[in-house]
């Protein structure tokens, strides 16, 4: 009897394995090729974005800056991982840390500005041998670039469905050539894909959840995504929260939703964002208080850092000119030739100069670049100011020609563009201390979400002009001389 049961068990086991192998073979031979065929466009978009973000394939960004962007911040993550491997547990309560090679606790400084979830998660999967860490970091950077590429590919796919494939292709190219996306893509500290995930999730899924009458679940997921982002840092959080309302505004305007209802939905996003921030802050407060030994000490430590980054404008970054050397060598040479570098100190007049120059750097922050053009030409044509000006000139043209009144998508996009610009500038209002001292990296705020929306506007106009371009050029060059 026992032999019979064993034989039956063996038969079932081998039969199950055979069926599993057959299923895997069926997936490999039929399902995957079918999936690739149906989603060929999405895969091509991903490959183009991944090549740009991982290896700067199109040479749109400065190679040295792309490979060494925010190394200091990234070292906090790498030090936290290394220390956890050395001690076999986190001696800094899972906070990020600045440490020497031995992770001596007396020479190490925990980073109290955030919870440091990126260091914790990467440490979980890290190899236990220290000599393997450089390879691990290298792979992680490429994985982060791939994740950002996947998320933005989904955005391009949504645009192809909502507008057209031609418009989506133009948006894809603009994203691939975007300087700041390339700089942030691989950084282990910034984990940039988490910045854009709430916004693109809202674009992709809002209508689905609304049709299914499950908006509560939609807002719950938005809250979860914002919480994860907050655990990795509060930078640009106002932009990230407000960006989630952009697709909601777009779809609701198309459906002719009342202004009162729009305000309610906006406030709901803000409330969800506030609760997400509160959860992340509570976790961070627990970590810091456990490390320091008391809640008052933790509140004081976190509060000092928050004050420095928000409304304490007396703080001036001592490394201002050093940052310009790295990010804008021609600008540094100009300032040095005017003897401004030697004159600089922390007096009130120089602080005024510092703030003024920071504003100028934001105004001419690069958006996207073409490698065939000189840097000065790229800044003159494609920095934040000219691109914003061009975007609103296009919107003004649409409005004057009454094109928006005939097309509800363009009408909705018009208001979304205006809103997205306000959302992008929200970080300047809530965190002036951080904004003034970090123009060397804060160009990313213009993508959260203004440039992502502006790229749609530019692409629509480009798609409209292209069929008429030969006629326009012929008319321009063949007009008789006066």
pLDDT digits (tens, 9 = 90+) for 24-40: 445 444 444 554 455 78
How confident is the model over 209-245, as pLDDT tens digits? 999 999 999 999 999 999 999 999 999 999 999 999 9
Question: In this structure, are residues 222 and 202 in contact, taking their beta carbons and an 8 Å threshold?
Answer: yes
pLDDT at 293: 86
Could you tell me which residues come within 8 angstroms of residue 167 by beta carbon, excluding any fewer than 6 positions away? Answer: 159, 160, 456, 459, 460, 463
* Alpha carbon distance, N-terminus to C-terminus of the chain: 108
Give this prediction's pTM. Answer: 0.83
Better pLDDT: 393 or 477:
393
The answer, yes or no, to whether the previous bond of 296 is cis (omega within 30 of 0) is no
How confident is the model over 311-357, as pLDDT tens digits? 665 444 444 555 555 445 555 555 556 555 555 544 445 556 666 67
Q: How many CB atoms within 10 Å of residue 167?
A: 23
Query: At residue 124, does pLDDT exceed 60?
Result: yes
- Structure-derived torsion over alpha carbons of residues 375, 376, 378, 384, reported in degrees to the nearest 10: 120
pLDDT at 381: 84
How confident is the model over 359-380, as pLDDT tens digits? 777 888 888 888 778 877 878 8
pLDDT at 267: 97
Query: At residue 140, does pLDDT exceed 90?
Result: yes
In angstroms, the CA 77 to CA 120 distance is: 9
In angstroms, the CA 150 to CA 164 distance is: 19
């Amino acid at each position: 009897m026992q032999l019979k049961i064993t034989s039956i068990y063996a038969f079932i086991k081998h039969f199950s394995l055979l069926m599993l192998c057959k299923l895997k073979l069926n997936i490999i031979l039929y399902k995957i090729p079918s999936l690739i065929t149906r989603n060929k466009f999405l895969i091509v978009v991903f490959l183009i974005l991944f090549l740009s973000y991982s290896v700067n394939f199109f040479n749109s960004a400065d190679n040295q800056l792309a490979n060494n962007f925010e190394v200091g911040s990234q070292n906090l993550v790498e030090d936290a991982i290394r220390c956890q491997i050395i001690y076999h547990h986190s001696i800094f309560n899972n906070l990020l840390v600045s440490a020497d090679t031995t992770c001596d606790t007396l020479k190490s400084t925990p980073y109290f500005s955030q919870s440091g979830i990126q260091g914790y998660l990467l440490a979980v999967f890290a190899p236990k041998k220290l000599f393997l860490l450089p390879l691990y970091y290298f792979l992680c950077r490429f994985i982060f670039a791939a994740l950002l590429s996947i998320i933005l590919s989904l955005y391009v796919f949504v645009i192809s469905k909502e507008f057209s494939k031609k418009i989506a292709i133009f948006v894809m190219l603009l994203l691939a050539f975007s300087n700041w996306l390339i700089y942030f893509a691989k950084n282990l500290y910034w984990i940039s894909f988490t910045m854009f995930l709430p916004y693109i999730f809202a674009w992709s899924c809002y209508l689905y959840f609304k049709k299914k009458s499950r908006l509560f679940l939609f807002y719950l997921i938005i809250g979860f995504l914002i919480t994860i982002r907050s655990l990795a840092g509060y930078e640009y959080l106002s932009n990230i929260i407000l960006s989630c309302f952009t697709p909601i505004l777009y779809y609701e305007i198309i459906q002719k939703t009342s202004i009162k209802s729009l305000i309610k939905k906006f406030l709901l996003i803000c409330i969800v964002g506030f609760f997400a921030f509160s959860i992340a802050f509570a976790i961070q407060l627990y970590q810091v208080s456990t490390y320091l030994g008391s809640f008052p000490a933790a509140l004081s430590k976190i509060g000092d850092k928050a004050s420095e980054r928000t409304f304490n404008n007396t703080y001036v970054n001592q490394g201002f000119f050093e940052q310009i050397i790295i990010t804008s060598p021609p600008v540094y040479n100009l300032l040095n030739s005017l003897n401004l570098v030697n004159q600089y100190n922390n007096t009130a007049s120089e602080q005024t100069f510092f703030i003024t120059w920071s504003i100028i750097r934001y105004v001419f922050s690069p958006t996207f670049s073409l490698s065939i053009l000189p840097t000065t030409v790229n800044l003159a044509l494609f920095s934040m100011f000219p691109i914003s000006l061009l975007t609103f000139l296009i919107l003004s043209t649409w409005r004057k020609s009454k094109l928006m009144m005939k097309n509800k998508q363009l009408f909705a996009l018009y208001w979304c563009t205006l809103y997205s610009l306000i959302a992008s500038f929200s970080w300047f209002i809530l965190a002036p201390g951080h904004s003034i001292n970090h123009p060397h990296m804060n160009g990313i705020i213009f993508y959260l979400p203004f440039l992502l929306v502006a790229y749609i506007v530019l692409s629509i106009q480009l798609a409209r002009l292209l069929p008429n371009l030969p006629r326009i050029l012929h008319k321009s060059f063949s007009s008789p001389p006066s």
